[in-house]
Amino acid sequence: MNESIIKVRKDFLVGEISPRLFGSFVEHMGSVVYTGIFEPGHPQADENGFRQDVLALIKELNLGVIRYPGGNFTSGYDWQDTIGPVANRPKKIDLAWRGIEPNTFGLHEFFNWLSHTEAEPIFTVNLGTKGIDDARNIVEYCNYPRDSYWSDMRRKNGQEAPFNIKLWCLGNELDGPWQIGAKSAYEYGRIANEAAKVMKLVDESIETILVGSSTPRLASYPEWDRIALEQAYENVDYLALHNYIDKYDEDDLTKPPKNERDDTPTYLAKSYRFDRQIEEVVAACDYVKGLLRSEKTMYLAFDEWNVHAQPEKQHQDFEIGSPIDWCYFTMEDALLFGSLGLAILRHADRVKIACQSLLVNTIPLILTDREGKAWCNPTYYIMAHLSNYAKGRVLSQNTTGPTYDCEKIKNVPFVDSVVVENEKELVIFAVNRTDQKQTIIVDHDFSLAENGEHIQLQSEELLDKNRRETPDKIQPKKQTVSIDKEQTVTVEVGKYSWNVFKIKKV
């Protein structure tokens, strides 16, 4: 039987969808910045060096947030290198990604660029090689109005009004042995707590994000989260979690795989790992809430998430903008990416911030070549659908339908789905994980229009890619669908497809 029944009711909700839930991430890593979003002299660059072809694609995403400047880069980052006249900024070695950082795209350039996107910034402070005093100073520089040392320096550097950054990450992945300035959970929790305190003394309106476990692959997960939270619970507002899913199940995704590739059913089932990770981290947060007798609920920032693929351009150490993890994603990758997004969406009651990683040229939504064109991986279209149409409230759903088992994961639904309601529409997101068409029946209590819009992303072969020679091979297609019965919606989805159904309420 290829029929899945989804039962939803308007009064039964998972939670409200935060406008920050579908964002992305810009890091000084590989060619994300240099020859990605910033390439002075490119035919499509404006007077600031911002690539307008890339910016036009980013604007279509309607992102809620963009995180900057890292990532691992942050743990060796000195923000003072990035301000003032460009000619006076130092060129330095970046140890995180073995590159050269010229600092020609710095703090002011980022905020100028960001102003064209309408996204909210998330700024990450260095708690690797830097500490509490540096965190205090950058908040003063960015957010304090005037008549102090750092705010007046900002004004001298051409920015009269404060940047008013509201979201601040307290470092990055400091549980990881790869991280510059890695710390124990207790060490990190203490410094993060004190940094959050002093940052909020400068600007009490900000919110801070505590670093949680950087991957469930580490043996310290989720104990790190518990210990760090116990030290900083009342002075932070979110706990961060990160995860990347690959076809190979390697401990180190940056190295060529040694294990066998997963088959398609197993690979597409791996989105379950996001659901499980979110639920485990929520459990750790709620344990600490109970332990501390706190009235505060800790929310989550899934501020690095993506599928992962092996690079198709070779990185050259200690060059400016040499690519890292520049890759094409297949249609198969895009289907898993869609299910990862749905896993985040169905936990909208606790996950309030999320950043796909990364925006351009590193496991990217958008691809560019130096002096060349910009085009999209198929994951770009799914991100655009989530960021534009996942608005309002996630409905609690009871689903029955066929499932399959694979060696690593059991009871995997053929159809992965989330139903969203907003003031104007009922929106159904669905991934068909199978090689056969599937029928979806939505049993509901809404008054809906007779017709709706169906957007489908699909390709002839699962390994198809949007290459530079064929950048439009995988594109979403739209069609009108009829709604036959008053209290049910019956729709059909193609094999191995990503689908969005938008039906107006009446």
List active site positions: 173, 304
pLDDT of residue 1: 66
Rounded-to-integer distance, Cα 362 and Cα 327, Å: 7
In this structure, are residues 65 and 355 in contact, taking their beta carbons and an 8 Å threshold? yes
Distance CA 428, CA 346 (A): 12
Q: What values do phi and psi take at 191, rounded to 5?
A: -70, -35
Residue 305 · residue 235 · CB < 8 Å? no
Per-residue pLDDT of the chain (506 residues; tens, 9 = 90+): 699 999 999 999 999 999 999 999 999 999 999 999 999 999 999 999 999 999 999 999 999 999 999 999 999 999 999 999 999 999 999 999 999 999 999 999 999 999 999 999 999 999 999 999 999 999 999 999 999 999 999 999 999 999 999 999 999 999 999 999 999 999 999 999 999 999 999 999 999 999 999 999 999 999 999 999 999 999 999 999 999 999 998 877 777 788 888 999 999 999 999 999 999 999 999 999 999 999 999 999 999 999 999 999 999 999 999 999 999 999 999 999 999 999 999 999 999 999 999 999 999 999 999 999 999 999 999 999 999 999 999 999 999 999 999 988 999 999 999 999 999 999 999 999 999 999 999 999 999 999 999 999 999 999 999 999 999 999 999 999 988 777 899 999 999 999 999 999 99
C-alpha distances in Å from residue 268, one per residue of 30, 319, 364, 495: 28, 36, 19, 13
Given 3-state DSSP classes, what are the helix, strand and coil percentages for the chain, each rounded to the nearest 5? 25, 30, 45
292-322 per-position pLDDT tens digit = 999 999 999 999 999 999 999 999 999 999 9
* Beta pairing class for 497-505 and 425-432: antiparallel
Would you call 230 exposed, middle or buried from its count of C-beta atoms within 10 A (0-12, 13-18, 19+)? middle
**Cis, bond preceding 71 (omega within 30 deg of 0):** yes
- Start-to-end CA distance of the chain, whole Å, equals 33
User: Alpha helix (H) ranges present in 211-271?
Assistant: 223-232, 264-269
Q: Provide the token pair at 6.
A: 């989804």
Q: Is the pTM of this model over 0.95?
A: yes
Question: Are 330 and 465 within 8 A, CB to CB?
Answer: yes
Using the CB atoms, write b or e for 97-121: b if 16+ within 10 Å. Answer: bebebbbbbbbbbbbebbeebebbb
Paired residues of 25 in beta bridges: 67
CB atoms within 10 A of CB 219: 6
Peptide bond into 257 cis (omega under 30): no
In the chain the domains, ranked by start, together with CATH numbers, are 3-10+395-505 (2.60.40.1180), 18-251+299-390 (3.20.20.80)
How far apart are alpha carbons 134 and 140 in whole angstroms? 10
Are 79 and 87 a contacting pair, CB within 8 Å? no
Structure tokens at 134: 């540096």
Cβ atoms 393, 13 nearer than 8 A: yes
Q: Are strands 99-101 and 207-210 parallel, antiparallel or unpaired?
A: unpaired
Dihedral over Cα of 404, 409, 413, 415: its sign:
negative
Mean pLDDT of the chain: 97
> What pLDDT score does 254 carry?
72
Report the pLDDT value the prediction gives residue 260, as an integer from 0 to 100: 85
| Cα–Cα nearest to 31, from 309, 321, 318, 320 | 321
CA dist., res. 469 & res. 472, Å (int): 9
Q: What is the pLDDT of residue 486?
A: 78
Q: Distance between alpha carbon 145 and the CA centroid of its chain, in Å?
A: 31
Which run of H or E residues covers position 379? Answer: helix 378-389
Cα distances (angstroms) measured from residue 383 to each of 322, 388, 460: 26, 8, 21
Q: Report how far residue 450's alpha carbon sits from residue 455's, in angstroms, rounded to the nearest whole number.
A: 17
331-345 and 272-291 are packed helices; what angle lies between their axes, rounded to 10 degrees? 30
Three-state secondary-structure class, residue 157: coil
